[in-house]
Every structure is written in structure tokens, then in C-alpha cells.
């Protein structure tokens, strides 16, 4: 995907690179699209662990982390996992990748992260503005993750956890330094 884009890859290309026969490939997958979806599904399934933990994140946890400047262990672990999957994520989220995966990543991780920091009175809200608020920040967080991946994941997972948290609580006109 990095070299030619997914659409320009053939099953022969994949088998040659993986040192497999076409018969072996077709014993496991119907086509290259099924292979890609299987790989994406594995990442999403791994991220489900974080989704559950995000649901239990409290505003007190966030307040302590903001006040002390310490990264949330949950966010550090999330960025550690994203780093482990960095090559795949760079390829699949890049220009030759799968345009369907970004929204899946946003919905699996970013949306839940935003919901987790909402005050209780908004978590059950059905108003359209709350939905737009969550959508806005979830899209922004996907952008943060994508920028980190695109720029080679130079920041540590701890720094990315601090950045992610800081972005939630920055006020208009406030200094934009970490």
C-alpha cells in the first residue's frame, strides 16, 4: 500500500511479497479486500479493550492528570498500541490505503474518548448540539492520531497522552504550549 496503493496491488503482488502461493492465499481469503478487512478488524478488536476502559474514565481522573501534568496511563497504553501498529496504520490511513478505516478508528476510539470526558448530564443527552460536539472533537482526535502517525511518531506515548489531554482543556486565548 505504501509503495503503490491498495487499489494497484494484485493478489500476485501480495503472494510474492509474503512468499506464499496463490493457493495458500485463497485457502484463507476470498480476495485482497477480505485480507485488508481482516487486518483492519484485528486492529479494531484490539482497540475494543481501550473502548471499555474509556467508558470507565472519570472526570476526577482527568482533573488529576490535568492538574499534575501526568499522562493518563490509559492514553499512554493507547498510544503504545498505536505505535506497535504504526506501519500498518501509516499504510492504511495514508493516500493509498483504505478510506473506510479512518472513520472506523474514529468511531472506535476517538468518539468514546470524547464521550468519556463529558459531564454526566450530557452523556445521556439526545440534543443535536451534544452530538455535533462529540463529532467535532472525535474528528479532531482522529486528526491528532493521523498527524502523529504521518510524522513518524516522533513524540513518546507519554507526550502524546499529555497532548491529547491538553487539547481537551485548552481555553480560547490561552497559551498553546504543552
> What is the tens place of the pLDDT at every residue in 101-139?
999 999 888 887 787 777 677 777 778 998 898 899 899
Measure the CA–CA gap between 40 and 45, rounded to whole angstroms: 9
96 within 8 A of 2, measured Cβ to Cβ: yes
In this prediction, residue 143 carries a pLDDT of: 95
| Residue 5, CA distances (Å) to 42, 43, 102 in order | 21, 20, 16
44 within 8 A of 89, measured Cβ to Cβ: no
> What is the tens place of the pLDDT at every residue in 58-84?
778 888 888 888 899 999 999 999 999
pTM (predicted TM-score): 0.88
3-state helix, strand, coil in the chain (%, to 5): 70, 0, 30
Amino acid at each position: 500500500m505504501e509503495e503503490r496503493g491498495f487499489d494497484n496491488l494484485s493478489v500476485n503482488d501480495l503472494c510474492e511479497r509474503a512468499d506464499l502461493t496463490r493457493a495458500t492465499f485463497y485457502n484463507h481469503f476470498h480476495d485482497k479486500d477480505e485480507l485488508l478487512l481482516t487486518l483492519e478488524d484485528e486492529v479494531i478488536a484490539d482497540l475494543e479493550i481501550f473502548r471499555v476502559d474509556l467508558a470507565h474514565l472519570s472526570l476526577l481522573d482527568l482533573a488529576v492528570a490535568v492538574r499534575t501534568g501526568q499522562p493518563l496511563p490509559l492514553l499512554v497504553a493507547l498510544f503504545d498500541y498505536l505505535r506497535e501498529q504504526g506501519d500498518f496504520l501509516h499504510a492504511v490511513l495514508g493516500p493509498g490505503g483504505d478510506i473506510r478505516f479512518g472513520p472506523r478508528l474514529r468511531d472506535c476510539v476517538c468518539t468514546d474518548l470524547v464521550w468519556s470526558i463529558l459531564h454526566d448530564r450530557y452523556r445521556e443527552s439526545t440534543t443535536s448540539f451534544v452530538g455535533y460536539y462529540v463529532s467535532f472533537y472525535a474528528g479532531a482526535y482522529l486528526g491528532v492520531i493521523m498527524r502523529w502517525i504521518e510524522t513518524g511518531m516522533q513524540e513518546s506515548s507519554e507526550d502524546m497522552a499529555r497532548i491529547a489531554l491538553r487539547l481537551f482543556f485548552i481555553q480560547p486565548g490561552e497559551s498553546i504550549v504543552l
